[in-house]
């Protein structure tokens, strides 16, 4: 496995792989790798010949007061995990490499970025889109892999790639969960034992929403209220940022649940902001 810290080294390695006829799969990460990231790497390995992983804690997607300074870092462990999973190249750039002094360009996907997490994290998705666009230009992958836990991010990146004519296929992969249902996340490491126990209620609340929708497709407001009650009972220390039922493509709130909908939520435990979601289609059962 190679590691690279410069854009020139990444481009040279990828060009060599492509010259030999290899397809390139790309998994962008902030670091702090866990089972969810590993599932993306494994998915890339199944369909691509040459796998690139980036480890870059991107400052532009963190708002002032968020957890940039304490975000878990374990580069040595991340590199060992990548090597174990057959990654070919890991790109570990510095902030100075990714953002030259005086840069004036920002990539924004309007409308989609304003929903869900965008309402409480202004500037987050422009930061995501800008760094992902830069990484796509550097790595030039054939396929890029994103997890469904960050459903909104995947929708936004897909639209950005289409609008800007990036020749890359965006592949989304299922949420990977702990045994009790909690979606795997680097931020789970922030949780104390009691909050870790309560956090499992997020998945349980989403399962309740799915059962309600499949059983009788009630109004979205009823589903939201039921989810909020479940969270209040089972995760009393969690501060609900949002619980929403939205269209799976536009990410806009819906009133009914008779078609495919996304039930999404964000809950914070003492500084650990967790997100989770489920796509439910009442027509499938």
**Catalytic residue from among 34, 37, 124, 217:** 37
Helices marked H in the chain? 7-19, 35-47, 75-84, 95-98, 117-120, 124-139, 151-163, 193-199, 201-216, 220-234
Give the CA count within 13 Å in the CB-facing half-sphere of 92.
Answer: 14
Q: Are 17 and 140 in contact (CB under 8 A)?
A: no
Provide the 8-state DSSP code for 236.
T
Q: What does the alpha-carbon distance between residue 84 and residue 121 come to, in Å, rounded to a whole number?
A: 35
Provide the 8-state DSSP code for 182.
P
pLDDT score at 238: 98
Provide the 8-state DSSP code for 211.
H
pLDDT score at 271: 80
pTM score > 0.85 for this model? yes
Q: Are 22 and 50 in contact (CB under 8 A)?
A: yes
pLDDT, tens digit only, all 285 positions of the chain: 999 999 999 999 999 999 999 999 999 999 999 999 999 999 999 999 999 999 999 999 999 889 999 999 999 999 999 999 999 999 999 999 999 988 899 999 999 999 999 999 999 999 999 999 999 999 999 999 999 999 999 999 999 999 999 999 999 999 999 999 999 999 999 999 999 999 999 999 999 999 999 999 999 999 999 999 999 999 999 999 999 999 999 999 999 999 899 999 999 999 899 999 999 997 665
Please give the domain boundaries of the chain with CATH numbers for all domains.
2-173 (3.40.50.620), 186-280 (3.30.1300.10)
The answer to whether residue 37 is catalytic is yes
pLDDT score at 282: 72
Nearest Cα neighbor of 32 from 55, 8, 7, 58 is 55
pLDDT score at 284: 61
Q: What does the alpha-carbon distance between residue 205 and residue 200 come to, in Å, rounded to a whole number?
A: 9
Q: What does the alpha-carbon distance between residue 29 and residue 23 come to, in Å, rounded to a whole number?
A: 20
């Amino acid at each position: 496995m190679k590691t690279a810290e410069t854009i020139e080294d990444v481009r040279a390695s990828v060009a060599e792989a492509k010259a030999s006829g290899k397809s390139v799969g790309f998994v962008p990460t902030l670091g702090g790798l866990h089972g969810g990231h590993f599932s993306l790497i494994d998915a890339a390995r199944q369909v691509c010949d040459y796998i690139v992983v980036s480890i870059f804690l991107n400052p532009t997607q963190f708002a002032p007061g968020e957890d940039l300074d304490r975000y878990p870092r374990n580069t040595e462990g991340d590199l060992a995990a990548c090597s174990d999973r057959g990654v070919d190249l890991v790109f570990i750039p510095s902030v100075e490499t990714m953002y030259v002094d005086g840069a004036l360009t920002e990539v924004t996907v309007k409308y989609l970025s304003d929903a869900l997490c965008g309402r409480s994290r202004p500037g987050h998705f422009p930061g995501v889109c800008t760094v992902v666009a830069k990484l796509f230009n550097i790595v030039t992958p054939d396929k890029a892999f994103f997890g469904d836990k960050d459903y909104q991010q995947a929708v936004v990146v897909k639209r950005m790639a289409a609008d800007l004519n990036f020749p890359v296929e965006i592949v989304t992969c299922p949420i990977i969960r702990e045994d009790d249902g909690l979606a795997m996340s680097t931020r789970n490491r922030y949780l104390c034992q009691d909050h870790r126990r309560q956090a499992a209620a997020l998945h349980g609340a989403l399962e309740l929403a799915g059962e309600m929708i499949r059983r009788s497709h009630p109004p979205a407001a009823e589903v939201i209220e039921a989810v909020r009650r479940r969270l209040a009972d089972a995760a009393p220390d969690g501060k609900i940022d949002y619980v929403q039922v939205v269209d799976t493509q536009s990410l806009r709130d819906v009133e009914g649940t008779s078609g495919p909908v996304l039930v999404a939520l964000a809950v914070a435990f003492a500084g650990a902001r967790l997100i989770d979601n489920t796509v439910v289609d009442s027509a499938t059962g």
